[in-house]
A and B are shown apart, each in its own frame.
Chain A
Amino acid sequence: MSPGSLKDRLHERDRRVAELGVYEERLDLKEGDPIAFELLYSRILQSVTSAHEVARLVSASPMSRELGEIIFGLYTPEGDAVALSRGLLIHIHTMSRMIKWMIENDYQDDPGFNEGDYYFNNDPYIGGAHCPDQMIVTPIYWEGELVAWAGGLTHTPETGGSEPGGFIPFARSRFDEGLFLPCVKIAENDRIKRDLEILVERGIRSPIFWLTDNRAKITGTQMIRQEIKGLIEPFGADNFGKACREYIEDTRRAAKRRVRTVLFPGRYREVGWRGSVMPRQETLLHGPVELTVSTEGRLVLDYQGMSPAGRHPFQGTLPTIEGLVMNVLIQHLFYDLKHNEGVLMVVDLKVPEGSAGNPPSIFYPTALWGITYGAGLASGQALSRAYYAQGYREEVHATSALSCAYTAGGVDQYGRPFGAHNFEFAAAGLFASAVADGLDTAGVEFNPEGEMGDAEIWEQVLPPVYLGREIHIDGGGFGKYRGGNGVLSLYQVWGTDEIDVGGFGAAPIFSAPGLMGGYPAGAVYMWVGSRTNIRQLIEERRPIPAGEGEDPETPDFVRQVAATWELVHGHNRVGTPARPGDLFTAMTGDGGGFGDPIERDPELVRRDLENKVTTPWTARNVYCIAVDPDTLEVDRQETERLRAARREERMRMGIPAQQYKARERERVLCGDFPPPVARMYHAVLGASEVFQSAFREFWDLPEEWRMPDPDQLAQEMA
């Protein structure tokens, strides 16, 4: 065992890795007995997997129990991940950061580490993405020496913020987001401290989720601790420690080989977008990425040009973007490796300081971590292009859905205070790939095991009742392979007179871009109908709407129910009192499409029509397919004619790329941007000289050109 304090050991580890570029120089155990080496790893993996399976049963939160929003891991004494369960993969690295933060901040001396201690953290600047990401770690001791850490993380549906549900759509500072407990010891001698439980019981709306999630994490980490001690006993602590380090190095080497094998070296650029819809400050956020694939098998992801941090919740912390990138890489590149610190070692992340992916202080709110999500998805697209260049078409994919949902708080149907959001967006529309349609209602980027939970479970947690939960018709981006459609749910307020209903999501701009000619998925929105005549409709047995129907311009519910209807673009809505009988919708978002829609196989469109997830209008006008609306038979000849006509129309309308660029340059020169776009570029160009220089070069702008500030212009005009 290495001598010295954990802090010394951590610094030594950092020095060694920086100097040698490897985690462990020799794989003695692996080379000595490769089979025993794998067997030990399978036992470690089993320990974290078992913890994941059991712990979720303890929680009262549907996100842990039903949706698998929970993950467990084993860490070295210095805090590097050795093995991770399945689950909330975005948090591959967040618990690692928490452990290292405690070590760096001398927790070993005060408050001290002991067997049976459990430390809690939900501060995203230490580890995690936002206040609802709550982690617990416990040290594992062997013969008086700290030999490993076990950790568990859940995403909890309520945090005691200024609005219910954890996702605070209009947070202006950290203090709107709820109760933060940064690396606090919540249990000693395997017993939870009651005073800290009371803090939670009196501090948030639905303490049951937080407190049972804690029990789940303690149960799981105890299981890991017990199993690991059983493994150390015959193997010895030194050997065990050496094996853990070799697993990390083994992964690093395998990851490097994978990069060299399947990605074509080069530089790939993509951009992700998100919107901030803070009152009177509507703007877009810019999340560009440049991926460099080196011939040696390293990946560099550079986010130069990311929007600066601001007083809105659409930014993330460094651990967030780190987690998102690792999550993308694990799902699309390293899915079959040992998932640990070694994955991170082949990646360099460059996130500009002061940007919305690396805010300048901990006071910037991160409730919706929007642009880091956008940049993470853009990283996946860049990866797809590198796959494409190497010829691995089956791994090429567009972008998955954005996360959005409704939030509510008040008194529930059982007479208890509550606050939560509906997390059915964990099964939103997935990306189209270069070989297949995106899956409908199947997943989300941060957790590959998509699961929306049954409506009957959500109706126990949140009082509104579903009037419909349907596949969002034509939600996915059009394409040769269309994006997956998400969920569109219609709710009726019911069972309580005391409820606020809000929503969160993105600005009115697409969030899931298409790829190689595929369309992006549409922007999300939320309808709210108050003072409805639903009671009268029921009494008269007239039709009750179940969803949007085929015409989003005039949804079924707007046609059928007399009400004061409000359309909320971007889904962000402050929690607003609602009354029984009010109706509202929530969408989960949809996936981006791939390829030219007029190359789509008519049979796929016919199938979609049969399943009622597209419309005859779309078939004809987007896919140029002639289909009989009654029999769903495709007229091949007429389809060919429609497609030929569409190609001719494109030829007529198209202009050469240089001409297009020149035309757009004129718009740039005179500042012809919609205000949200102008705000975005004004902020980004002011914050990043590198990006400004690239922007100027691309558009060939004169030295004196300045991006106009639309707000200043507006003030001057006023």
Chain B
Amino acid sequence: MSIESRRRPELCYIDVGGTFTDAFIVDAEGEYVTGKAPSTPGELARGFFAAIGAAAESWGMTVEEVLRSLKVLGYGSTVVLNAILTRSGRTPGLITTSGFEGILLMERGKQTWVDLDRAARLHPMTHRHNSPIVPRRLIRGVTGRIDSLGREVIPLYEHDVRAAAEELVEARVDAIVICLLWSFLNPSHERRAAEIVRDVVRERGRQVQVVTSVDVSPMIRELPRVNTAILEAYTGDLARAAFQDMQGRLEERGFRGQLQIMQSTGGLAPAVYVKAVETIQSGPAGGVIGGRYIGEIYGFENLITTDVGGTSFDVGLVSEGFINVNREPAVARMLLGVPMIEILSIGAGGGTIARIDPLTGRLEIGPQSAGSEPGPVCYGRGGTEPTVTDADLVLGYLDPDYFIGGRIVLDAGSARRAIRERIAEPLGMSIEKAAEGIRTIADAKMRDAISGLIATRGFDLSDYHLLAFGGAGPSHVADYTKGLSLAGTMVFPFSAVFSAFGAASADYEHHYTRAVNVIVPPRASDEEKLALGRRISEAWEELRVRGSRQMEHEGFDRARIQFRPLAMIRYGRQLNDLIVTSPVDRIGSPADWDRLIEAFEQLYTRVFAVAAKYPQAGYEILEVGLAAYTEKIRPKLRFEAPGLSAPPEDAAKRLRPAWFEGGWQETAVYEMSRLRPGNELSGPILVEDPTTTLVVPPARRIRLDGYRTIWLEEER
């Protein structure tokens, strides 16, 4: 055992990606190491442990030594998403409101085009229906209706439910999903139906899971609700088995804690309690959480996270310290009713393909990607269409012998040939100009994604710091931030594993919602405010009790559990509400009520426009929510007082020709890990790391602060 192995690792986070599995290990002092290993889709555990091993090796430890020492082990899991994408889940049946048995075939129309780009959306010949997860023969309708005010129109026909349950059990389903209209508002029919189904299951002596939509997705809109409940039934057992299996393997190798899963909303939760549908976006959430954590360290409330990977460019937002959440996400062409961290993803990554449109002669980038197999032309694995990475290589930004630390030797000749034949010659320009064009358009798409997301949320770019990470983020950040009036641009030495770092900083967190259906008349009296406020306070209290119970059950100290009350508010009869973080924990006076409404008005004005306000219509609060969370150990960024602005001599590697401002320039190359706090360098330079390359063009400069964060700035 070496000196290094005296370290006491406390936290480890594993992020399983499509190509690589990343490990991020933090010790009791907040020091960290990272490890990377190829993902092993058929046998997750192999990549999982290999990544831990790679990280542990940096501290001279074995996997077992690390696992024995850990208090927290977090996991960004793709188990659920993969099961959905590969259609390899269980066999659920569905009981729904009579007359709605066709809901999964109808798909509200929208699911036939929801994931398409503009041209395909406008071209109906490309639209198609999904093959439903629950086939029509396993769907039964039952009579019974609740209305939009939660009133009973037709009582539940219990004999219908029993007959449906008997038929579905007979059909050997693994689970029975129950989703009835308006159940989120009045769950009595759905709950009674569940009781009857459970009775039937018991009587038949079968093991059939029963899933009610109100418990999985208590939100208005029946299609997203039923989809979400079905996915829970479809993947829940698989996810639990996979997590249990992993827990067992970890325990075999010395881990004594409880495996924690990253949820789509950005908090960790014990694997044994987490809902499968809450982990669909488990992986990508890490980057945004990391952004929030960096914001806390630096005292920034507004951050944009940008992750450039092999196939996509992902943008997330942290606004006023809160991560933006999408309450109506679409995954695998299914509309879902489960909140997820909002991540705008566009097809612009290293593997994105460039082509000339034969009709318009226009250079187009993506959204198609060469992926990791065959990958860009320069990988030499059979790719023939030029990609963004090929352009980066042709322009001299990437070292063909130092890509992924030299594990992949890039073939610059093939990349040049592909760009010449497919792009340069048709456009009548040089290879370098064509490669520059590929980069310019890809980077512009990224820039548009950032400014578009900010614009559509009504925010101001100058309030935001941008974080660039992902393997290809540092290579493109200078261009995709060009012209954006940001508060600052930050690049991290651990860019390639930033998502795992971010996830390692996550709190334990659960989100709860509850329907309240509060209609607020215009110019409400104090009595009305008090009466309506009481209903909201009661709902928050109910959620607080639920949150406390659950987190205590999960082993957390009650005294450390914190809560954030939320209200989903809109003007009267609007159909879209805004999630307002309430400035008050309960509404005990008309003034408390006014503070809540004022918070909504302020948010509304910022997101939309002053002219869009409409208080004359009154307000509606159909749902309230609560975030319950408790903190845990986090990785610390080590601070070192900035020293000299000149980098140490051994940081400079060599000169390499790189293409800037329309010509080749001999460009200084630096090793990222050897730069010290306080170092400042002016472009053009290239700063390399085994997993990424930071491209600093002319008129830009970099500066390393005490945390070794690289600030990309305009040349003074």
Complex-state Cα separation, A38 to B157, whole angstroms: 61
A425-457, CB under 8 A of B: which get 1 and which 0?
A: 011001001000001111100001111111111
Please name 28 pairs of A and B residues whose Cβ atoms are closer than 8 Å in the assembled complex, sorted by A: A35-B441, A39-B440, A53-B456, A54-B456, A58-B576, A58-B608, A59-B575, A62-B575, A208-B572, A212-B574, A254-B360, A331-B123, A331-B124, A335-B120, A336-B119, A394-B125, A433-B125, A439-B112, A448-B124, A454-B223, A456-B182, A465-B147, A469-B102, A469-B103, A490-B99, A495-B148, A538-B154, A610-B135
Give chain B residues whose Cβ lies under 8 Å from the Cβ of A187.
Answer: 611
Residue pair B100, A468 in contact (C-beta under 8 Å): yes
**A413 at interface (Cβ–Cβ under 8 A)?**
yes
Please tell me if the beta carbons of B110 and A450 are within 8 angstroms of each other in the complex. Answer: yes
- Please report the C-alpha to C-alpha distance between residue A39 and residue B456 in the assembled complex, in whole angstroms: 20
Would you call A176 an interface residue if the criterion is a C-beta within 8 Å of the partner chain's C-beta atoms?
A: no
**Set of chain A residues within 8 Å of B458, measured between Cβ atoms:** 54
Q: Confirm or deny: A487 has a beta carbon within 8 angstroms of a beta carbon on chain B.
A: yes
- In the bound complex, CA of A258 to CA of B361 (Å): 12
Do A451 and B108 touch (CB < 8 A)? yes
Q: Which stretch of A5-13, A43-51, A300-308 is in the interface?
A: A43-51
Q: Which residues of A contact B123 (CB under 8 A)?
A: 331-332, 335-336, 448
Task: Quote the shortest CB–CB distance from A361 to chain B (angstroms).
Answer: 35
Task: Assess whether B382 is interfacial by the CB under 8 Å rule.
Answer: no
B127 interfacial contact with A, CB 8 Å: yes
Q: Which residue of B149, B220, B612 contacts A219 across the interface (Cβ within 8 Å)? A: B612
Known interface pairs A439-B129, A453-B108, A471-B106; A466-B99 also in contact (CB < 8 Å):
yes
Residues of A within 8 A of B145 (CB): 465, 467
Smallest CB separation, B214 vs chain A (Å): 13
State the interface size on chain A (CB cutoff 8 A). Answer: 97
B113-131, CB < 8 A from A:
113, 118-125, 127-129
Asked whether any CB of chain B lies closer than 8 Å to the CB of A190, the reply is yes
Q: Given A439-B112, A443-B124, A610-B135, do A57 and B99 touch, yes or no (CB 8 Å)? A: no
**Complex A-B, nearest 7 residue pairs according to Cβ-Cβ distance, in ascending order:** A468-B99, A427-B109, A546-B99, A450-B109, A335-B123, A336-B119, A65-B575
**Does A212 lie within 8 Å of B125, measured CB to CB?**
no
Other-chain residue from B154, B363, B607 in contact with A544 (beta carbon distance below 8 A)? B154
In the bound complex, CA of A190 to CA of B610 (Å)? 8
A541: CB under 8 A from chain B? yes
B357-371 toward A: CB 8 Å interface, digit per residue (1/0)?
101111100000000
User: Quick check: A191 and B611 within 8 Å, CB to CB?
Assistant: yes
CB within 8 Å for A454 and B101 given contacts A212-B571, A442-B109, A610-B137: no
Contacts A455-B100, A544-B154 given; does A208 touch B573 at CB 8 Å: yes
Chain A neighbourhood of B705, CB < 8 A: none
Asked whether A470 lies within 8 Å of B99 as measured between CB atoms, the reply is: yes
| Interface residue B159 (Cβ < 8 Å from any Cβ of A) | yes
Instruction: Please determine whether A457 and B614 come into contact, CB atoms closer than 8 angstroms.
Output: no
With A86-B118, A427-B109 as contacts: A546 and B125 at CB distance below 8 Å: no
Count of A-B contacts judged by CB separation below 8 Å: 258
A413–B448 contact, CB under 8 A? no
B110 touches A538 (CB 8 A): no
When the two chains form their complex, are residues B148 and A471 in contact, meaning their CB atoms are under 8 A apart? no
B148–A34 contact, CB under 8 A? no
Chain A residues, Cβ within 8 Å of B124: 331, 430, 439, 442-443, 448
- Name the CB-closest residue of A to B155: A538
The residues in A between 459 and 473 inclusive whose CB is less than 8 angstroms from any CB of B are: 459-460, 465-471
| B520 in contact (CB, < 8 A) | no
Docked pose: A89 CA to B122 CA in angstroms? 9
Taking the complex as formed, is B307 at the interface, i.e. its CB lies under 8 A from any CB of chain A?
no
Report the minimal beta-carbon distance from A364 to chain B, rounded to whole angstroms: 31
A404 within 8 Å of B by Cβ?
no
Q: A39-B440, A60-B571, A413-B149 known; A443 and B109 CB under 8 Å?
A: yes
> In residues 571-620 of chain B, which contact A (Cβ within 8 Å)?
571-576, 607-614, 617
> What residues of A have a CB within 8 angstroms of the CB of B128 in the complex?
439
- Determine the chain A residues whose CB is within 8 A of the CB of B444 once the complex forms: 39, 42
Q: Given A331-B124, A452-B106, A35–B363 Cβ distance below 8 Å?
A: yes
A56 to B112, CA, bound (A): 20
A613 at the interface (CB under 8 A from B): yes
For the complex with contacts A208-B573, A335-B122, 20 further pairs of A-B residues with Cβ separation under 8 Å are A60-B617, A65-B575, A65-B576, A191-B611, A208-B572, A211-B614, A212-B614, A218-B612, A227-B455, A331-B123, A331-B124, A426-B109, A448-B127, A452-B106, A454-B108, A459-B148, A468-B100, A612-B102, A612-B136, A613-B102
In the complex, what distance in Å separates the CA atom of A223 from the CA atom of B611?
Answer: 12
Q: Is the beta-carbon distance between A452 and B122 smaller than 8 angstroms?
A: no
Measured CB to CB, the closest approach of chain B to A645, in angstroms, equals 31
Question: B611–A192 contact, CB under 8 A?
Answer: yes
User: Is B537 in the interface zone, CB < 8 Å from A?
Assistant: no
Q: Does A216 contact B (CB under 8 A)?
A: yes
Contacts of A538 in B (CB 8 A): 154-155
B100 and A469 contacting across the interface, CB-CB below 8 Å: yes
Complex interface: chain B residues within 8 A of A208 (CB):
572-573, 617
The answer to whether A38 and B362 touch across the interface, beta carbons within 8 angstroms, is yes
Nearest to B135 among chain A residues (CB) is A610
Q: How far is the CB of B196 from chain A (nearest CB, A)?
A: 15
Query: How distant is B428 from chain A, measured CB to nearest CB, in Å?
Result: 10
- Is the pair B359, A258 in contact by a Cβ cutoff of 8 Å? yes
Bound together, the chains give a CA A487 to CA B360 distance in angstroms of 39
Q: A427: which B residues are within 8 A, CB to CB?
A: 106, 108-110
CB distance from B362 to the nearest CB of A (A): 6
Is B98 in contact with A468, judged by CB distance below 8 angstroms? yes
Tell me if A353 counts as interface (CB < 8 A to partner B).
no
A211 to B614, CA, bound (A): 9
* A50 and B137 form a contact (CB under 8 A): no
Which of A46, A222, A454 interacts with B611 by CB under 8 Å? A222
CB of A369 within 8 A of chain B? Answer: no
Neighbouring B residues of A430 by C-beta, 8 Å = 124, 127
For the complex, what is the distance from the CA of A490 to the CA of B112, rounded to whole Å? 24
Q: Give bound CA distance, A443 to B136, whole Å.
A: 21
Asked if B359 and A86 make an inter-chain contact with CB atoms under 8 angstroms apart, the answer reads: no
Q: Which of A426, A433, A469 contacts B99 (CB 8 A)?
A: A469
Q: How far is the CA of A39 from the CA of B479 in the complex (A)?
A: 13
Contact A467 B99 (CB under 8 A): yes
Chain A residues lying within 8 Å of B612, measured Cβ to Cβ, are 58, 215-216, 218-219
B636 touches A (CB below 8 Å): no
Query: A218-B612, A448-B121, A456-B148 known; A442 and B127 CB under 8 Å?
Result: yes
| A442 proximity list for chain B (CB < 8 A) | 107, 109, 112, 124, 127, 129
B99 touches A547 (CB 8 A): yes
Within the assembled complex, what's the spacing in Å between the Cα atoms of A337 and B359? Answer: 9
Could you tell me which residues of chain A, from 119 to 144, have a CB within 8 Å of some CB in chain B?
none
- Which residue of chain B has its CB nearest to the CB of A254? B360
Alpha-carbon separation in the docked complex, A433 to B137 (Å): 27
Q: Let me know if A414 is at the binding interface, CB within 8 A.
A: yes
Residues of chain B within 8 A of A544, CB atoms compared: 98, 143, 154, 157
Q: Is the CB of B105 within 8 A of A440?
A: yes
Is the pair B441, A38 in contact by a Cβ cutoff of 8 Å?
yes
How long is the Cα–Cα vector from A250 to B221 in the complex, in angstroms? 43
- Among B119, B458, B574, max chain A CB count under 10 A is at B574
Q: Which one of B109, B148, B224, B451 contacts A413 once the chains associate, using CB atoms below 8 Å?
A: B148
Q: How far is the CB of A199 from chain B (nearest CB, A)?
A: 14
When chains A and B are docked, how far (Å) is the Cα of A610 from the Cα of B137? Answer: 7
* CB pair B611 A455 closer than 8 Å: no
CB pair B101 A470 closer than 8 Å: yes
What's the least CB distance linking A650 to chain B, in Å?
A: 31
Tell me, yes or no, whether A261 is within 8 Å of chain B by CB.
Answer: yes
- Given that A190-B611, A442-B129, A494-B147 are contacting pairs, would A57 and B441 also be in contact in the complex, using a CB cutoff of 8 Å? no
Are B99 and A50 closer than 8 Å at their CB atoms?
no
B409 to chain A, nearest CB (A): 31
A286 interfacial contact with B, CB 8 Å: no
Q: What is the CB-to-nearest-CB distance from A95 to chain B, in angstroms, rounded to a whole number?
A: 18
- B98 proximity list for chain A (CB < 8 A): 467-468, 544, 546
CB distance from A41 to the nearest CB of B (A): 9
